[in-house]
Chains A and B, each alone.
Chain A
Amino acid sequence: MNFKLTKIQFFLMLFFIETGVIYISFQQGVIDYGGRDAWIMFGVASIFMYLLLFFYEKNYKFFRLGKITKWIYILYWLVVIISFLSYMQYTLNVWIIQNMPPFYSLLAIVLVTLYISLSRPSTTVNLGVLIIPLVFIFIVFILLATHELKFSNILPIGTSTVPQWLKGMHYSLTAFIGIESYLMLRKNVLKDEEIKGKPILIFHLIVSIFMGASVIGVEFYFMLKEIRLIPDPILYILKSQKVTFVKRLDIFFIYIWLAWSLLTINLFLFNIRIALSTQEGKNPKPLLFIIHGIIMIAPLFFIGVGQVEFIRKYLIYLFYPFSIILPMIIILFNRRRDSKCDKSQ
C-alpha cells in the first residue's frame, strides 16, 4: 500500500487512535482504582508513554513485521476493534436505541468502516479533519459544567496508597491503547518532515492534556464514591447540563462520539490494511471482507453488561505485550540481525 503522510496527518491519526471510543469512559477506571490522586497517576503514566514514544521514534526503522508477528498484531487489533465495537453497541443500547436490534446498528457501523477500508488510503488519512470541529463542540459543551465543579475534591493530595497508585497508573494506560500504531505509520511520513524532539513532545502534551483534563474534570465533578456507579462519566456530565435548544444534550453528543469512535475503529483497520499489504502479490481485499465479517458478527456475543465490564477491566492487559514487550523484542531482534548482516558484509 503506497501512501505518504505529512507530520500533521501522522499526528492527527495518532490522536484519533488514542482518543475516540475510550474518551467517554476511561476516567472512571482511573479514578475508581486510583482514588483521589488519580490525576497525578495519569500524569506519571503519560510521562512513561512519552518515554515509550521516544523509544519508538529512535527505533521505528527496525520495527518490521514477519509472517508470524504480522498475524499476531492483526489478531490483537481485531480483538481491540471487537472490544470497542461491543462497548459502542452497548453504550448505544443503554443511552439511545434500547429497542433496535444490535445487528442492524452494528451493520450500519460496519458498512461505513467497510466502505472506508475499501477506499484509497487518503480517505482514512484525512477523515480526522472532519471530526476535529465535532471534538471542539464536544469539549465546549462539557465546559458548561464548569460552575458545578468542586475543586476541593482532589484535596488532600497524597492520600492514595501504593496498590491504588499501581492500579491507577495501570488503568491510565487505557488512554494510550493503540500507541503502537506509531510504529506502523511512522515509516510512511515524508522524509523531510521533522518528527524527533519538539514535534513529538507537543503531540504528546496535547494528547496528555486532553485526556488528563478529562480525568481531573471528572474528579472535580463527581464524588469518589459516586464515580463507582457511573461507567460513562463524560456522557453523564453532558446529560446533567440544561440547555434551551435541546432536551437531552447527551443524545446529541453520543452521535458525535459515535463518529469519533468510527474513525478510531477505521484507524485500527488501517493498521491491519498496512500489515496485510506487506504480503507481496496478494490482494488484501478478500481478507478485508472476511475481517469485516468477523467484526460484524463477533461483537454481538459481547454486548451484555458482564462482557462489557470484562472488556473494560481486562482489555488494558493487552497493552503491555503489544505496545511495549513485543515491539521491543521485534526491534531488538531486527537491530541484532541488521548489525550481523552489516558485519558479514
Chain B
Amino acid sequence: MRQVTIVCLCSVLLLAGCWDERLYKNLSVISVAGFEGHMGELVSYYVYPNSASDPTQFTVIETKGVSPRDTRNKADMKMDQTIDLSELTVLLIAEETAHDDIYPYLDVYYRNPQNPINSKIAITKGSPKDFLSIKEPLPSDVGEFYENFIESMERDTIFPKDLDLQQAGSRLFDEGIDLAIPYLKKDEAHGTPIAAGLALFNQRKFTGTILNTKESLLLNLLAKGKSDTARMTFLYEEDDKKTPLTIDIIRLKKKIKQQGNSKRITINVKIEVNIDEFPSDHLGKEKIEYQLEKFLSKKIQNNMNKMIKKCQDASSDPIGIGRKVRAKGSNIWKEGKWKDTYSTLDIQTNVDVKIIRSGILK
C-alpha cells in the first residue's frame, strides 16, 4: 500500500502540464499547400479556412523563401496562429518546379512526424496559386474538394490508385519503376481544376511529357489494373456509318514476358468487358460480337503500343517493366543503367478483348 501511495504521489507531478500540447485555437490547419519556383527562390502557398463555421471560405497565404521549411516559417510570420500541416490533404507542385529533382522539396514532409505522408500529390500546369483561387462556390473546403477530385479520378482508373506522398517517395528510390503523378489544368472560365492526365517522371525529375486521360487510363490498366471503373469510348465504323461504342472493363489480366535475355518484351493482356453504349444494338449476334471484339482488341492494342512508345521516348517506366526484368534476374538489367536499356526495348502488347456482358439490351 505504501508503494502504491508513493507511486501515486509521484505521478501527480506528471499531471502538472503537457509540454507538447497543441491546441486547435493556436493553429491554422492547412488542408492544401503548393509551391513553385526553385530551391533558393521558392514560393509556397498555404490555404486555410477563414472560419470554423464555413470551411468553404478560405484564405491563401503566399510566402517566398529558400526552401519549403523556410517558406513555412515565413508564412508563420504573416499569421496570428502557427501553421499546422498535420491535416494536409493535397500538395500541388508547379510543372516548372517538377523539372528539378523533387525529393529535396519533399524531404520536410517525410522527415517531420507531424506531417502526414498519405496526402495526395499533383503537378499543376502553371502556378498552384491559380488552382487555389477557385471562383465557383465549393461544396466543401478546398482541401477536401481536391482530395475528392483526385480520388474520383483514381476510381475511374485515370489517376493511379492510392498514390500518396509515401508511395511517390518510394518510387523516387526505385530504379525499376517511375512516377506518374496526376497532372491538373485549369478551366479558365470557372477556375476549377481539370484532370489532364499524368505527368511522367524519369527517376526524380519530370520529363515534360504528359499522358492524356485516355493514355493515363491505359497506363494504369497495365501498371496496377482496373480500379472501380475503367471506361473507353471508340467510334465503330460499319457500312460507312459511325457508331459510338463504349466499353466498361470488368476484368483485366496481364502478363509481362521477356524471351530469354532478349530486348523484346511482350505484354499479354486479356480484357473482359461490358458494352455500355452501342446504339447499333444486336449484340446477341455472334458475327457482330466477333467483329466488335476484333475491333476493340486492335484499337486498344494500338493505343497501348503508342502510349508505351511515348513513355519510352520520355525515358519513363511507369508500368514497372524494370521491376519485372530485375525480378527475373535478366542480363539486360544493369543497376544504374536501366534507363538506357529501357528506351531501346522492343515492347509490344498483345490484347485480347472478350465481350461478356451487353447491359440489359442485346
A joins B in a complex: yes
With contacts A99-B20, A150-B323, A156-B329 taken as known, whether A108 is within 8 angstroms of B14 at the C-beta atoms is: yes
Please tell me if the beta carbons of B118 and A223 are within 8 angstroms of each other in the complex: no
Number of interface residues of B (CB under 8 A): 30
Residue among B113, B170, B327 with max Cβ neighbours from chain A (10 Å): B113
Please tell me if the beta carbons of B14 and A104 are within 8 angstroms of each other in the complex: yes
Which among B20, B86, B323 is the interface contact of A96 at CB below 8 angstroms? Answer: B20
Which A residues are CB-close (under 8 A) to B18?
A: 100
Which among B14, B20, B327 is the interface contact of A152 at CB below 8 angstroms? Answer: B327
Which A residues are CB-close (under 8 A) to B117?
A: 239-240
Please tell me if the beta carbons of B167 and A247 are within 8 angstroms of each other in the complex: no
Q: Mark out the residues of chain B between 153 and 180 whose CB falls within 8 Å of any chain A CB in the assembled complex.
A: 162, 164, 166-167, 169-170, 173-174, 176
Closest chain B CB from A152 CB (angstroms):
4
With contacts A223-B173, A239-B113 taken as known, whether A101 is within 8 angstroms of B3 at the C-beta atoms is: no
Contact with A along B314-354 (1 / 0, CB 8 A): 00000000011011110000000000000000000000000
Which among B19, B86, B162 is the interface contact of A247 at CB below 8 angstroms? Answer: B86
Please tell me if the beta carbons of A99 and B326 are within 8 angstroms of each other in the complex: no
Which B residues are CB-close (under 8 A) to A96?
A: 20, 113
Contact with B along A91-111 (1 / 0, CB 8 A): 000111111110010011001
A119 and B6 CA atoms in complex are apart in Å by 14
Please tell me if the beta carbons of A98 and B14 are within 8 angstroms of each other in the complex: no
Please tell me if the beta carbons of A118 and B327 are within 8 angstroms of each other in the complex: no
A202 and B137 CA atoms in complex are apart in Å by 63
Please tell me if the beta carbons of A101 and B113 are within 8 angstroms of each other in the complex: no
With contacts A95-B113, A222-B170, A250-B113 taken as known, whether A100 is within 8 angstroms of B19 at the C-beta atoms is: yes
B161's nearest neighbour on chain A, judged by CB, is A147
Contact with B along A107-136 (1 / 0, CB 8 A): 110010001001100000000000000000
Which among A99, A118, A152, A229 is the interface contact of B324 at CB below 8 angstroms? Answer: A152
Q: Mark out the residues of chain A between 204 and 242 whose CB falls within 8 Å of any chain B CB in the assembled complex.
A: 221-226, 229, 239-242
Does residue B53 face the partner (Cβ distance < 8 Å to A)? no
B165's nearest neighbour on chain A, judged by CB, is A240
A159's nearest neighbour on chain B, judged by CB, is B329
A181 and B324 CA atoms in complex are apart in Å by 45
Number of interface residues of A (CB under 8 A): 36
Please tell me if the beta carbons of B7 and A115 are within 8 angstroms of each other in the complex: yes
Residue among A100, A229, A240 with max Cβ neighbours from chain B (10 Å): A240
Please tell me if the beta carbons of A225 and B3 are within 8 angstroms of each other in the complex: no
Please tell me if the beta carbons of B14 and A240 are within 8 angstroms of each other in the complex: no
With contacts A152-B324, A155-B327, A226-B170 taken as known, whether A240 is within 8 angstroms of B3 at the C-beta atoms is: no
Which A residues are CB-close (under 8 A) to B323?
A: 150, 152
Does residue B51 face the partner (Cβ distance < 8 Å to A)? no
A156 and B326 CA atoms in complex are apart in Å by 7
Which among A94, A98, A107, A226 is the interface contact of B20 at CB below 8 angstroms? Answer: A98
Does residue A148 face the partner (Cβ distance < 8 Å to B)? yes
Which A residues are CB-close (under 8 A) to B3?
A: 115, 118-119
A223 and B11 CA atoms in complex are apart in Å by 44
A271 and B211 CA atoms in complex are apart in Å by 63
Does residue B10 face the partner (Cβ distance < 8 Å to A)? yes
Which B residues are CB-close (under 8 A) to A242?
A: 118, 164
Contact with A along B1-22 (1 / 0, CB 8 A): 0010001001100100011100
Which B residues are CB-close (under 8 A) to A250?
A: 113
A240 and B170 CA atoms in complex are apart in Å by 12
Which among A100, A119, A148 is the interface contact of B162 at CB below 8 angstroms? Answer: A148
B329's nearest neighbour on chain A, judged by CB, is A156
With contacts A223-B173, A240-B118 taken as known, whether A97 is within 8 angstroms of B166 at the C-beta atoms is: no
Closest chain A CB from B357 CB (angstroms):
27
Q: Mark out the residues of chain A between 233 and 259 whose CB falls within 8 Å of any chain B CB in the assembled complex.
A: 239-242, 247-248, 250
Contact with A along B283-325 (1 / 0, CB 8 A): 0000000000000000000000000000000000000000110
Contact with B along A64-104 (1 / 0, CB 8 A): 00000000000000000000000000000011111111001
Which among A99, A148, A155, A224 is the interface contact of B19 at CB below 8 angstroms? Answer: A99
Which B residues are CB-close (under 8 A) to A248?
A: 86, 113, 116
Closest chain B CB from A222 CB (angstroms):
7
A251's nearest neighbour on chain B, judged by CB, is B113
Residue among A98, A104, A223, A241 with max Cβ neighbours from chain B (10 Å): A223
Please tell me if the beta carbons of B173 and A225 are within 8 angstroms of each other in the complex: yes
A111 and B117 CA atoms in complex are apart in Å by 35
Does residue B62 face the partner (Cβ distance < 8 Å to A)? no
Which B residues are CB-close (under 8 A) to A147?
A: 162
Closest chain A CB from B9 CB (angstroms):
11
Which A residues are CB-close (under 8 A) to B86?
A: 247-248
A99 and B324 CA atoms in complex are apart in Å by 46
With contacts A115-B7, A250-B113 taken as known, whether A241 is within 8 angstroms of B118 at the C-beta atoms is: yes
Closest chain A CB from B65 CB (angstroms):
22
Which among A99, A100, A156 is the interface contact of B328 at CB below 8 angstroms? Answer: A156
Does residue B144 face the partner (Cβ distance < 8 Å to A)? no
Does residue B87 face the partner (Cβ distance < 8 Å to A)? yes
A241 and B164 CA atoms in complex are apart in Å by 10
With contacts A111-B10, A222-B170, A239-B113 taken as known, whether A97 is within 8 angstroms of B327 at the C-beta atoms is: no
Which B residues are CB-close (under 8 A) to A240?
A: 117-118, 164, 166
Please tell me if the beta carbons of B173 and A152 are within 8 angstroms of each other in the complex: no
Closest chain A CB from B256 CB (angstroms):
11
Which A residues are CB-close (under 8 A) to B118?
A: 240-242
Closest chain B CB from A275 CB (angstroms):
23
With contacts A240-B166, A241-B118 taken as known, whether A101 is within 8 angstroms of B326 at the C-beta atoms is: no
* B residues apposed to A, CB below 8 Å: 3, 7, 10-11, 14, 18-20, 86-87, 110, 113, 116-118, 162, 164, 166-167, 169-170, 173-174, 176, 323-324, 326-329
22 A–B pairs (Cβ distance < 8 Å), ordered by A: A100-B20, A104-B14, A107-B10, A108-B11, A111-B11, A147-B162, A150-B323, A152-B326, A155-B329, A223-B170, A225-B173, A226-B169, A226-B170, A239-B113, A240-B118, A240-B164, A242-B164, A247-B86, A248-B86, A248-B113, A248-B116, A250-B113
3 closest A-B pairs by CB: A156-B329, A155-B327, A99-B19
